[in-house]
Structure 1
Amino acid sequence: MGKAGKALKQVLSANGISQSRLASTLGVERPIVFRWFHEQTDPTAETVAKIVEILRELDPGAASEFIHLYLGDESPSSPSAASVISAQSLPESNQLNISALSRLFSDTTNSYKYLFFLSLLDILNRRQFEVLSPISFQELIVEMIANAWYPHTFFKLSFGKQDKIAQKLDSLALNIEEPILQFKDSDKKLLRKAIASQDLKDAVSHLRRYVPFRLIVPFLETELEGISRGKGNQVDLAIPAIADRYFEDKKPLYRFDATIHKDCHSIIVHPDWAAYLERYYVIVRGWLAWEWMRYMQSRNPSTPAIANKLFVPTKRNSLGKQTDYWKVVLRSQELRCIYSQQLLNIEKLSLDHYLPWSFVAHDQLWNLLPTVPEVNSSKSNNLPNSTYFRKFVELQHIGLTITYKNLTKGQWTRQVEPYILDMRVNKQEDLLDLQKLFNAYDQLINPLVSLASNQGFSTDWIYTK
């Protein structure tokens, strides 16, 4: 929660753009922008795209800065915000064909090109952009599968029905260690090791046939004129020799370790491109992340928080404030776990995401309920059986009613803002009416449960000792 809000707050403040002006231009009510600004709620991926377009109209530099903060590297070594350009353009170069780079993902219908280029960037970054050693197809494909694991396997996003990367991931019997699940494997070392231990011959055979060759077509368009791209596509076969012949003249992103298609096993990145990618790594990766997000949003149009599900999460946010909320409730009334009926202990409290965090990717209070640690661990990222739904709403109603009495008006108003925004209730007092609350939850939760189920989240979980 709050990644877009943090970026928006910094950008609006630094560039003198008022919340009211953004709201008016965006066509939304000011309180909605206020909630983003104060990190109470996050805009959807579609809304983020609209925010970028509006910021471009108001101040192109602000749009660039927002994209950088939202998708880019926030390390101290990152270039200043003023040097970051828009997601739809890249830094120019007198020696390189930047227009070709910007067309890498034109007319892309599957995930391969995005994952291949992302993996190439990751490998180059780990190698500190040293290009004397070739990068094997095997290494690239292991990296591609690792980059696909979090969005597809952990967050259960769709890459498309015919996507071979997703199919290969589904077929692997990976030994996923705890650091991976706890987001402590930020460089994907453990994940890559687990993937590399599998039989990847069919994946390597399939992906090496097309992806590495077609990715660099934009750099050699003129040289490929007249070569058939229809039935019996000859471009893939011709690319290795052409890339080698024009490596110093046209400077494609890379060439291959052989000039005959069937003999190619590695790529050799052009030194000038390695230097460019090193210098502008943050910008190029931010541009790629933006393009990748747009593609994945098109494949998962109703899925919440797409931007938070595409890469290895850095860490989970603390639930300290949410825990304090439920402790206020427990100090006023004894509560039982809705799953196990155990009496809740305020000193040994665990908060469960009713809809799994790996689906919603947020920690909104309306989706959190107190439980006991062993029950929370047992539930994991499963969807609870529908028999728990009414108990869940009743527990939420108890929490809202007690905190309404025990918190100041201002405190309670801030706590319930996400309820009002996401459930679209007419007024705060409706949250205190059990039937109205139940109706609001019913309209919000059930479509999300159906969507999560369709994405592959396990359903009908029931707690058993």
Structure 2
Amino acid sequence: MNIPFQPGLPVHLLAACFNKTSATYKFYWFLSLIGQVEKGETQISKQALFADMLAHAWYTVNYFHVSFGKQDQLQQAIKKVRTTESLTIDADLHQISSALIHTPHQSTSKALRYFDGEVPHRFLSPWFRADDRKLVYGLSQSFTGDCLYALYKDHIVINPAWTAYLQRNARVLKDFCYWNLALYLQGKNPNVPDIAGKLIKAPVRKSLTEQRRKFWDVVIGELGSVDCIYTNTRLGIGSYAVEHFIPYAFVSHDLIWNLIPADPAFNSTKSDKLPLLDRYFEPFYRLQQQAVEIVYDRLPRSKFLEEYLTIIPDLSATRQLSSAADKQRFREQLQPLITIAANNGFEYLQR
């Protein structure tokens, strides 16, 4: 992926800012910078940029538990700040940024100040020797080499030669940054699904209405009721929640093989906890087995049956999921996902 060319500007140097990255700082610094320029800001406080960095990464770290690497201080700063500030996991970017800019807590301010020694001058390494901080500050203040911005103690000033370019191409530049960030994080999380989909908080989660109405209502309608695998509560049509067996925050999809009816009260408390397979796999699998048999019999062309292809490669074999091989294959698909999620910080369900 390339960024737009602009005659007279060293665009190739801007693209090179993400070469040889050893932490996420540069990606989130640039996203924060672009966001401020989009709002018409050209003299931007470092405090605002550092706060925006944490805000952009907040959901990826706290909700999806994506690892930034053991040495990445941005992830560590978010964890520290979350224990100090009254901010929820799903707080929006503006709310987080505003809280961090105006924080009364010295520990939060200290966590933000850390990045002043790591990010603003190092981002300009394609223009200047990044290991000489004083030199970078001095040269940047005269926009030497048409560098992107000038550095001062508490703020930066966008080079006027770059302002229109940044504003006009903000969307493409952010996509370029996210693309590079996704590649970087996928390297740190090789077995975690859908890294690209975990970089931005979706405005609204997709509804599970179709999975309820066209799959599980069909199953429960045939059986009359089913038992919640967690609470043994009897569930009928209209009295159950559609629940992700492995949390959505990890798998990042709504495929039917990971969805089951559950007690609504329990579902709201389970949150993104991981199920213990030794306790819950048997009832989970039996429920899936019954569901596949019923839907295959009543709605053999259901698109939801095709979603089992990621578990059982032969669609005709999903007619009953009755063989020992089917059962073993199903469990073998779930186990590594749960193990990786646990290693990334998801907690197990304690019941």
What TM-score comes out, normalization by structure 2 length?
0.92
Q: In 1, distance between residues paired with 2:231 and 2:36? A: 47
Structure 1 residue corresponding to 2:289, chosen from 394, 397, 400: 397
Map 1:68-217 to 2 at 5 A: 87=1, 89-125=2-38, 127=39, 129-131=40-42, 134-172=43-81, 173=83, 174-177=85-88, 181=90, 185=92, 188-196=93-101, 197=103, 198=105, 199-217=107-125
Structure 2 residue corresponding to 1:276, chosen from 140, 147, 165: 165
2:146 corresponds to 1:251: yes
CA deviation profile, 1:240-297 (whole Å, cap 9, x unmatched): 111113x1x522110023xxxxxx1110111221210111111111111111111111
Who is 1:82 aligned against? none
Who is 1:64 aligned against? none
Measured after TM superposition, the shift of residue 204 of structure 1 is 2.9
Q: Is the 8 A contact 2:292 2:318 kept in 1?
A: no
Q: In 2, distance between residues paired with 1:373 and 1:272? A: 57
Q: In 1, distance between residues paired with 2:65 and 2:41? A: 35
CA deviation profile, 1:73-98 (whole Å, cap 9, x unmatched): xxxxxxxxxxxxxx1x2221122110
2:233 corresponds to 1:328: no
Who is 1:354 aligned against? 245
Who is 1:76 aligned against? none
Map 1:265-414 to 2 at 5 A: 265-324=154-213, 325-333=215-223, 334-386=225-277, 387-407=279-299, 409-411=300-302, 414=303
Measured after TM superposition, the shift of residue 424 of structure 1 is 4.0
Who is 1:80 aligned against? none
Measured after TM superposition, the shift of residue 205 of structure 1 is 3.0
Measured after TM superposition, the shift of residue 430 of structure 1 is 4.4
Measured after TM superposition, the shift of residue 192 of structure 1 is 2.0
Q: Is the 8 A contact 1:130 1:274 kept in 2?
A: no
Q: Partner amino acid for 2:255?
A: Q
Q: Is the 8 A contact 1:210 1:236 kept in 2?
A: no
What TM-score comes out, normalization by structure 1 length?
0.70
Measured after TM superposition, the shift of residue 121 of structure 1 is 1.1
Q: Partner amino acid for 1:103?
A: A
Measured after TM superposition, the shift of residue 431 of structure 1 is 5.1
Identity of aligned residues (%): 30
CA deviation profile, 1:45-66 (whole Å, cap 9, x unmatched): xxxxxxxxxxxxxxxxxxxxxx
Q: Partner amino acid for 1:363?
A: D
SS in 2 for 1:200: helix
Q: In 2, distance between residues paired with 1:171 and 1:379? A: 25
Q: In 2, distance between residues paired with 1:243 and 1:291? A: 25
Q: Is the 8 A contact 1:219 1:253 kept in 2?
A: no
Would you identify which runs of 4 or more consecutive aligned residues in structure 1 move more than 4 Å?
none
Q: Partner amino acid for 2:348?
A: T
Who is 2:336 aligned against? 447
Measured after TM superposition, the shift of residue 103 of structure 1 is 0.2
Q: In 2, distance between residues paired with 1:430 and 1:279? A: 51
Q: Is the 8 A contact 1:383 1:461 kept in 2?
A: no
Structure 1: which 5+ runs fail to align? 1-86, 258-263
Q: In 1, distance between residues paired with 2:112 and 2:210? A: 47
The structure-2 alpha-carbon separation of the partners of 1:237 and 1:157, relative to structure 1 and needing over 3 Å to count, comes to same
Q: Is the 8 A contact 1:243 1:252 kept in 2?
A: yes
Number of aligned residue pairs: give it. Answer: 342
CA deviation profile, 1:171-230 (whole Å, cap 9, x unmatched): 2224234xx63x7x3xx122223444343233233210121001012134xxx5xxxx7x
SS in 1 for 2:243: strand
The structure-2 alpha-carbon separation of the partners of 1:189 and 1:207, relative to structure 1 and needing over 3 Å to count, comes to same
Q: In 1, distance between residues paired with 2:217 and 2:315? A: 25
Structure 2: which 5+ runs fail to align? none
